[in-house]
Structure formats: C-alpha cells, structure tokens
Amino acid sequence: MSTSAQVSNVHGVQLLELPTKGPPLRDAADLISLAWEHDVALIAIPVERLEASFFKLASGEAGEFAQKCVNYRLRLVIVGDISVHVASSRALQSFVYESNRGTHLWFVENREALTARLAGRS
C-alpha cells in the first residue's frame, strides 16, 4: 500500500485519498488498516487503482471490497470515469445507481463531484 495517501477534512468528513499511481488494489485489508491508522471515515480510491474485473459484478470483487469497508464502518468512494464499464453492463449501471443513493459506497466522476456531494449539493 502506498504511503503517499493524503488525509484531509472535507466538509467535516475525514477523508483518505489514495494517489492515482500505485499498484492495483485487490484486497481491502491494507486499505482498512491505513484508514484506521489515520482515523478516517471515508476512503477515496481512484478508478485507475482498480482492475477491470472490479467492475464485472460476477467477479464479486466490488461487493466484497465494499462489504469489508462497511463491516469496519468505513465509507468508500470510487473516483473517476467508469462510463465504459457502465455502458457495457446493465447490472453495473443498476449497482452504481443504487450505491449512489446510499451512504456507504459512491461512484463519482472527480474530486469536485465528491466535494460537492459531501457539501450536500448533490
């Protein structure tokens, strides 16, 4: 896990942002440990750090990753353009829609969209 992750407070929420460059994330355990170490409530993962299989719901990766975070009372945000993945899967489109209606897992286009969401503007 890269140690160049940044911690910031965005609209009263402690946020851990992973850098775009780094190895693909395959398991949430190291990420959860890092989040607890920095006492954050929300983890932002750039889409570049996830493999294409993460967006194939049949693989179970997205669900397992999100569930581990929820089990440790952490919220997760995937930041970046996933339109190619969503366009090729109606199931993923529904998953993203439902996730974005909740509070535990969000998919946002960029950091500005995340900041707006945390401010309650979307």
Q: Is residue 86 part of a domain?
A: yes
What confidence score (pLDDT) does residue 68 get?
A: 94
**pTM beyond 0.85, yes or no:** yes
Identify any residues that bridge with 107 across adjacent strands, giving them in sequence order.
78
Q: What is the DSSP letter of 80?
A: S
Instruction: List CB contacts of 10: < 8 A, sequence separation 6 or more.
Output: 114, 115, 118
- 121 pLDDT more than 90: no
Is the model's pLDDT at 57 over the cut of 80?
A: yes
| Domain residue limits at 101 | 20-118
Residue 3 is assigned to a structural domain of this protein:
no
Instruction: Categorize the per-residue pLDDT at 2 as very low, low, confident or very high, splitting at 50, 70 and 90.
Output: very low
Locate 99 and state its tokens. 């996730």
Which DSSP category does 22 fall into?
Answer: S
Residue 15 within a domain: no
pLDDT at 69: 93
Count of the separate structural domains present in the chain: 1
